[in-house]
Amino acid sequence: MKIIQRNKYLNKISKFANNEIIKVITGQRRVGKSFFLKLLIADYLKHTPDINIIYINLELFEFSTINTADDLVNYIEKKSKSAGNILFIDEIQEINGFEHAVRHFFSKNYNIYITGSNSSLLSGELATLLSGRYVQFKINPLNFTEFCKFHKLSVNQKTLNLYIKFGGMPYLKNLDLNDDEVVFTYLQNIYQTILLKDVVARYNLKNVDFLERLVLFLADNTGSIVSAKKIADFLKSQNLKISNSVVLNYLNYINNAFFINKIRRYDLQGKRFLEIGEKFYFTDVGIRNALVGFKPQDMNKILENVVYSHLISIDYAVSIGKINNLEIDFIAEKNNNKIYIQVTYLLTDNKVVEREFGNLEKINDNYNKYVISFDQVQFDNKNGIKHLSLINFLQKQNL
């Protein structure tokens, strides 16, 4: 199978290729971490053909006997040479105590790359044992520009419609995008794999029914302010009694699997993050649509998710804004620069225009402010606030 380059990630990680530092590559399952490792391996072999590559993919049966740190050390030492060893371990969280093995080979000057599908990979003992000795790279689903490249499609409204319906999972390039059933079946299978491997099995959860209901609730409420109490109250109305603390735990488990993203709210007047009420967006909007359907009445929340995903893909840190009782959809920051964004489906009438532009007008600073909509026409700027069509926004690397 032809491997398609994702140059933005290669360019980032290549700066550390020969450094004595561990490269940790994270992200949701099936976003392309394994293929990214193969790109790196191919690049090393191209420039240094005699280098010793040790590659372990813990999702493959041939490595099923590697279950502990001792197993890992024994396997790698058998494959090692006296010098010039480059170690690639895919889905390393499957190994109990892996951090001790990583530290062992780091101390022996191995060049190390590891991948994982859980954000807690770097919050436990690995971070303690290897503090200051690793750098993290997060792989995201394809953004719109990559989607067009992967599928060899022109940048136009028809392609945009496919992207917002099916999302950016790389393997979709092998499926017929004209067949909704085939694509959504594949995306539902990814969902089941993430839920079972990265949430249920990892945290030894018993209440799978509640977990699935929680995910569906988040899909139905994408982009809405959510609290543990609100979720618990909803479930209570469905005759399912779950405490707030359990809801919070399960939300964290799903978030740790990179399946959803919890976005905090920032009070622009009080200049502080709020403790209650967050928004949740799916890492891949296609999976969200596969779970609850791609419905016209959901376009506002779907477009919000798409805008959020693009901001993350171009390295913005994102929060939700609050000013008085008004909401700012996104505050995005990168390189000491800040932008404010409102998202709406269509600027259909003056009332919608006044609402979307008016919220941004309440912010008294000189940072750029944008209203993004699905409209194919370009609206005039209003009091310094710029309008962008979604298709134009999704082609930008900076704002």
> What's the full length of the chain, in residues?
399
DSSP assignment of 321-336 equals EEETTEEEEEEEEETT
Are residues 114 and 244 part of one domain? Answer: no
pLDDT in tens, 288-324: 999 999 999 999 999 999 999 999 999 999 999 999 8
- pLDDT of amino acid 5: 76
- What is the full DSSP assignment across 258-276? TSEEEE-EEETTTTEE-SS
- Geometric angle at alpha carbon 198, from 3 and 132, rounded to 5°: 75
- Average pLDDT, stretch 368-391? 94
Helix (H/G/I), strand (E/B), else coil: 214 = helix
Residue pLDDT, tens place only, 129-148: 777 788 889 999 999 999 99
Shared domain check, 164 and 106: no
Beta carbons of 56 and 23 less than 8 angstroms apart: no
User: Are 171 and 42 contained in the same domain?
Assistant: no
User: pLDDT digits over 41-71, tens only?
Assistant: 988 999 888 899 999 999 899 999 999 999 9
For residue 217, what pLDDT is reported?
A: 95
Q: Assess if residue 305 is contained within a domain.
A: yes
Mean pLDDT confidence for 227-256: 90
Q: What pLDDT does 124 receive?
A: 62
- Assess whether 195 and 314 both reside in one domain: yes
At residue 66, the pLDDT reads 96
Task: Look at residue 24 and tell me if it is in a domain.
Answer: yes
Which among 184, 183, 158, 163 is positioned nearest to 306, based on CA atoms?
Answer: 163
Q: What is the pLDDT of residue 126?
A: 67
What was the pLDDT predicted at 33? 92
Output the pLDDT for position 153: 97
Mark whether 61 and 134 lie in a shared domain. Answer: yes
- Do 193 and 307 fall into the same domain? yes
- Kindly tell me if the per-residue pLDDT of 330 is higher than 60: yes
239 band by pLDDT with thresholds 50, 70 and 90: confident
Q: How confident is the model at residue 122 (pLDDT cuts 50, 70, 90)?
A: low
- Segment 106-130 shows an average pLDDT of 81
pLDDT at 1 over 60: no
Helix axis angle for 180-193 and 285-292, nearest 10°, is 100
Read off the pLDDT band of 182 (50, 70, 90).
very high
Report the pLDDT value the prediction gives residue 355, as an integer from 0 to 100.
Answer: 92
Domain containing residue 128: CATH number: 3.40.50.300
List pLDDT tens digits, range 332-365. Answer: 999 999 999 999 999 988 899 999 999 999 999 9
- Whether the model clears a pTM of 0.75, i.e. scores above it, the answer is yes
Indicate if 162 and 128 belong to the same structural domain: no
Query: Other CB atoms closer than 10 Å to residue 146's CB: what's the count?
Result: 21
In 3D, which of 123, 191, 178, 139 has the Cα closest to residue 8? 139
In a domain, 340, yes or no: yes
Evaluate whether residue 2 is within a structural domain: no
Q: How many domains does the chain have?
A: 2
For position 282, what pLDDT does the model report? 98
CB atoms within 10 A of CB 53: 17
Higher pLDDT, 120 or 139: 139
Residue 261 lies in a domain: yes
Supply the range of the domain harboring residue 128: 7-138
Average per-residue pLDDT in the chain? Answer: 92
